[in-house]
Structures are given as structure tokens and as C-alpha cells.
A and B are shown apart, each in its own frame.
Chain A
Amino acid sequence: MKCLSIEQIYLYIEKELTLSENKKIEAHLAICRKCKKALEERRPLLQASESLPLWQTPPNFTQQVMARIFPARVPLSAWLTAAYAGLGLTTLAIFTIFLVTGQNFSSLLTSLNHSLWNFIRNLSPVFVKFFKVATLFVRVLQQFFEYIIKAFASFTTIISPQVQIIIITIAIILIAFSIYGIKRKILIGEKA
């Protein structure tokens, strides 16, 4: 048998050869000093290579990675709850003012707007312009809501009370489903 190759020596040390290949190599090693020396030189190299010290990760490594994958954030559902609460409180405040003062919403808003206007007019012409536009916008909005209320009033005179109940029930169900759907979409978004 010819002298061993580097490949044969390494595969022999690593026990990666078949039984018959091993036997051939052992037979050769028994008679060849050069190959035996080459083998003996490489064996400790492999043993040392296999026991090199391991690098350790810091104790909080997993948390660091998780924080980068899932950054902490205020849940969207919390924002939605706050928005619902804000809307509810505003509505409640408007109705309370309406009940206490006896004034309607639009006149209240107009008087409030006027007092604000007088206050800010002295500060800056920019603010003046801004509030003029805002007033105009509120009036347009008020007009818009008045039309809607009128339309709703004429609607109730045309349609019978039974049909009205059905329509209102369907509308409530649709609104409930929409809110549920939005919440679910947000929750899925958070999971992802």
C-alpha cells in the first residue's frame, strides 16, 4: 500500500472511514514510520481544535433580541379605547350643557367662538384669520347637521314605526360588527 494521504489520515482520526478502509490503514501504519508520525502529529491538533473554549453570550442576550424583534409600543387597542372614551365624554358634556343652559349646541358654540375670537384677535392677525375660517367651517358643519336632522325627520314621517325599528336595528348591528372588525384587525396587527 502507498503512503497515506492527508485526507485518509484525517478521516481515520475522525472515524469517518469504513471498517475495511480502517483495517487497511491500520495495517499500513504498523509498517510505515513516516505515516505513523504524521498521524501522531495531527491527532493532538484535532483534539485541541475540538476543545477550543466557547464564547458565552451575555445573560440578557435573548431579551435584547426579542426587544428588537418585538419593540415595546402602546397597544393600538388602548388608543382606540381612549378615542372611544374621549368621544363619549364630549357627547356627554354637550348634552349636559344643553340641559343646564337650555341653549342649543350651535348657539353655545357660536358664543364660545366669539369670546375666543375677542381674546385672540388682539394677539395676532394670523390667529384672527384662522378662527374666521374655523367659524365658517363650524357654521357649514352646523348647516350640514341641520340638513341631516331635517332629512331624518322627514324620513320618520314617511316610514312606518315598524320599518323604522327594523332599519335602526340593522344599523346598530352593522356598527357593532364594524367596531368588532376594526378591533380584531388591530389585534391581529399587534400579533404580527
Chain B
Amino acid sequence: MDEDKELVARSIKGDKEAFEMIIQKYQQPLLNYIGRTVGERELALDFTQEVFIRTYSSLHSYKPQYKFSTWLFKIASNFIIDYWRKKKIDAFSLDHQERDNDLPPLQVPDKELPIVKKLEFSELKGRIEQALEKIPAPLREVFVWRHINEFSYEEMAEIKGLPVGTIKNRVFQARELIRKRLEKKA
């Protein structure tokens, strides 16, 4: 049994310390996902707390054959989708469903030096953060999972319940949109 599954089993039996360890382990990854997705720190902290509360109350429904982190992020993702629905942010269509399997052709700017090479590394990171806020929510979500939470494409597919190919396309679309935004700003 891996560490997470053992902690879950202990939490179900009423061991508060075990659930405290789960919170300590996952608070930062969850905050970074939720924070980057909703954009506001205080709101993200509130949501992260809510996700842990939901997780605790659903521990009995966790099936040990699945990875705990995947299950936890699925709860967080559903929470965020509920939030988008309430905020009337279109989390589903966004013209992506029809384009999920369709990537634009490879583009190479005519400029001698692309923007990503002109900027200092720290400045580039700042620009990426800004661009990330502007891309559609479902693309932002997978971008954060891939680059900040370091999930594999397979893990992301399991969380979203989508084919791996669809997830890959969303990640590539997110990157291309960010790249284009950087070029536009230059």
C-alpha cells in the first residue's frame, strides 16, 4: 500500500493526524492549481480549504485502485467547474470541443529573433503568467497541471475522463495561445 492510501485508510478510521498529513502534502499543489485557475489568492485559499473539506467527507467513496492525487484533483476540478458555472464562464464549449483534435499548422514568425529569445528568463516567466490568465479556462487548467503540478498526460486524462490525445491537444493549444500572446505583446 502506498503512503497516500495508508493515510486515507487511517483517516477513515478517525486518525486526524493522518488527514493532517494529507493536507500538508497536497496544500501547495492544490493551491497552485486552483490559484492559477481562478486568479485570486484569497479566493484560491478558500477554495483549497473547501476542496479538502469535500475530500474528507468523501473519503469513504475513494477506491484504492486509483491514485489518490488523481482522485483529489478530480474533486478540485469539479469544484472549479461548479465555480465557472456559477460565474457563467463557459467552461465547456469555448469553441474547443470541435477543435480538440485539430491543431493549427506549425507557424514560424518571420522575425529574426522570437520574443521568447529576446526576453530575460524571469521576464519571460512574468509574461507567461500574464498570458496564462487570458487563455480559455479549460486550456489554462491543463497547462497548469502539466507545467506546475507536473502531471503526465495519462494522469490528466484520468482526472478529466477524456482521451489522452484530447488532453495533449489542449495542452499544445494552450502553449500556442500563450506563445501567440507573447508575440503580439512584443
Binding site for B on A (CB under 8 A): 3-7, 9-11, 16, 34-35, 37-38, 40-42, 44-58, 61-62, 64-66, 68-70, 191-192
A64's partner among B49, B103, B106, B129 (CB-CB below 8 A) is B49
**In the bound complex, what is the Cα–Cα distance between A46 and B31 (angstroms)?**
21
Closest A residue by C-beta to B173: A6
Whether a CB of chain A sits under 8 angstroms from the CB of B125 is yes
Whether a CB of chain A sits under 8 angstroms from the CB of B124 is yes
Given contacts A10-B175, A65-B23, contact A3 B143 (CB under 8 A): no
A44 engages B124 (CB within 8 Å): yes
A61 engages B45 (CB within 8 Å): yes
**In the bound complex, what is the Cα–Cα distance between A8 and B45 (angstroms)?**
37
Top 5 nearest A-B pairs by Cβ distance? Answer: A49-B147, A41-B114, A191-B14, A48-B124, A44-B116
Q: Which of A34, A42, A49, A64 has the most CB of B within 10 A?
A: A49
B-side interface residues, number (CB < 8 Å): 49
A69's partner among B35, B52, B148, B176 (CB-CB below 8 A) is B52
Main secondary structure of the interface of A (DSSP, over half): helix
Whether a CB of chain A sits under 8 angstroms from the CB of B66 is no
Closest B residue by C-beta to A61: B27
**In the complex, what's the smallest C-beta–C-beta distance from A11 to chain B, in angstroms?**
8
How would residues 155 to 185 of chain B score, 1 for a CB under 8 Å from any chain A CB and 0 otherwise? 0000000000000110110011011001000
Closest B residue by C-beta to A40: B117
B27 engages A52 (CB within 8 Å): no
B108 engages A5 (CB within 8 Å): no
Binding site for A on B (CB under 8 A): 14, 16, 19-20, 23-24, 27-28, 31-32, 35-36, 41, 44-45, 48-49, 52-53, 56, 103-109, 114, 116-117, 121, 124-125, 128-129, 143, 147-148, 150, 153, 168-169, 171-172, 175-176, 178-179, 182
A52 engages B116 (CB within 8 Å): no
Closest A residue by C-beta to B174: A49
A52 engages B129 (CB within 8 Å): yes
Given contacts A5-B103, A49-B147, contact A57 B19 (CB under 8 A): no
Closest A residue by C-beta to B117: A44
Chain A residues positioned under 8 Å from B104 (CB to CB) = 6
**In the bound complex, what is the Cα–Cα distance between A191 and B12 (angstroms)?**
10
A57 engages B175 (CB within 8 Å): no
**In the bound complex, what is the Cα–Cα distance between A35 and B41 (angstroms)?**
40
B108 engages A34 (CB within 8 Å): yes
Closest A residue by C-beta to B50: A68
Given contacts A56-B28, A66-B16, A69-B19, contact A3 B45 (CB under 8 A): no
Given contacts A6-B104, A62-B20, A66-B16, could you give 17 more A-B pairs where the C-beta distance is less than 8 Å? A4-B106, A6-B176, A16-B153, A38-B107, A41-B109, A42-B175, A42-B179, A44-B121, A48-B125, A49-B143, A51-B125, A54-B32, A55-B41, A57-B28, A57-B31, A66-B19, A69-B52
Chain A residues positioned under 8 Å from B52 (CB to CB) = 65, 69
**In the complex, what's the smallest C-beta–C-beta distance from A38 to chain B, in angstroms?**
5
